Amino acid sequence: MTPSEPSIPLARLRSIAVDTASSAAALIRASDEHLAIDTKSTATDIVTATDIAAERRIRELIAEAAPGSRVLGEEGGHTIAGVGDHGDIEWIVDPIDGTVNFAYRIPLTAVSVAAAVDGRVVAGAVVDVDRGEVFSAHRSGGATIGDRSARAGTCDELALALIATGFAYDAERRRRHGQTIAELLGVVRDIRGFGSAALHLCWVAVGRVDAYVERDIKPWDYAAGALIAAEAGAVIELPCIENDTLVLAANPSLHAQLRALVT
């Protein structure tokens, strides 16, 4: 199989992503399990029972809709979803993007589900848990918010740009990124940080923020949102050794200006 010819058509992969993310979002809205039950990379990188339950639901639905697919989930790692012939497809899943927000009952969390073929994300959906907004895209198929087309903003002056950001759990990387953001504060309109990489990327896609920059986030954080932003016309840079784990999303007019200040 090639990225252009997955065993499930791209539009169907997008639909599966929307359906599974929406089902998980409904589970999260109904849950009262907000307390942390475990930690991961640091004491502040928490897991709740709801994270685990939401990922379990996503894996079950993928096993029904695309049996034999591989799944990479934030909480459950790599598994095979059921028995079937869709092994060319890998699903990249974040059951709750914004778990700290969820634990504090801050209504800014999302479910992110993306489908990749040969290591390239080809379809995905992000569902805003509390607002019920559904962002989705598939490769060369455009991006939408609900039933409306999504388009990145057109701001072309850094001084007028609203920038979104977030901070890694690693203390040293947080300190370094904080220095970068402090320098940006004197150059841009303002900085916002909402605690969900997936929503930051989707809000670039619909022009609610003009750009987003962060370091050291994981594939499940950005897989679906990055595709959605790209299909909405944003320029996307994803983490690699050469850019020191930078994620940068901005409309074409701002991308080069902003990159020069953060790298």
> SS3 letters for 138-196?
ECCCCEEECCEECCCCCCCCHHHCEEEECCCCCHHHHHHHHHHHHHHHCCCCEEECCCC
Same domain, 143 and 162: no
Same domain, 191 and 251: yes
Q: Of the residues 97, 131, 149, which one is the last residue of a structural domain?
A: 149
Residue 182 located in a structural domain: yes
Residue 5 located in a structural domain: no
Report the CATH number at residue 163: 3.40.190.80
Residue 217 located in a structural domain: yes
Q: Of the residues 111, 131, 149, which one is the last residue of a structural domain?
A: 149
Where in 14-84 does DSSP place strands (E)?
36-39, 46-48, 69-73, 77-81
Residue 4 located in a structural domain: no
Number of domains in the chain: 2
CB 251 within 8 A of CB 233: yes
Same domain, 231 and 179: yes
Residue 101 located in a structural domain: yes
Whole-angstrom distance, CA of residue 240 vs CA of residue 219: 11
What pTM did the predictor assign? 0.94
4-13, 27-36, 191-200, 243-252 — most confident range: 191-200
Spell out a b/e string for 108-133, using b for 16 or more CB atoms within 10 Å of the CB, else e: bbbbbbbbbbeeebbbbbbbbbbeeb
Residue 42 located in a structural domain: yes
Same domain, 187 and 131: no
Same domain, 176 and 247: yes
What pLDDT score was predicted for residue 126? Answer: 98
Confidence of residue 4 (pLDDT cuts 50, 70, 90): low
Residue 1 located in a structural domain: no
Residue 65 clears pLDDT 50, i.e. is over it: yes
Same domain, 110 and 135: yes
Reduced to 3 states (helix: H, G, I; strand: E, B; else coil), residue 51 is: helix
Q: Of the residues 149, 174, 198, which one is the last residue of a structural domain?
A: 149
Same domain, 33 and 114: yes
Same domain, 234 and 163: yes
Report the CATH number at residue 61: 3.30.540.10
- What is the β-pairing status of strands 69-73 and 162-165? unpaired
Q: Which residue range is the domain that position 217 belongs to?
A: 158-262
CB 196 within 8 A of CB 108: yes
pLDDT digits (tens, 9 = 90+) for 178-187: 999 999 999 9
pLDDT averaged over the chain? 93
Whole-angstrom distance, CA of residue 193 vs CA of residue 189: 14
Same domain, 170 and 250: yes
What pLDDT score was predicted for residue 44? Answer: 80
Same domain, 25 and 138: yes
Average pLDDT estimate for 39-68: 91
Percentage of the chain modeled with pLDDT above 70: 98
Same domain, 70 and 164: no
Same domain, 36 and 115: yes
Average pLDDT estimate for 219-246: 93
Residue 241 located in a structural domain: yes
Confidence of residue 67 (pLDDT cuts 50, 70, 90): very high
CB 165 within 8 A of CB 258: no
Residue 2 clears pLDDT 80, i.e. is over it: no
Confidence of residue 1 (pLDDT cuts 50, 70, 90): very low
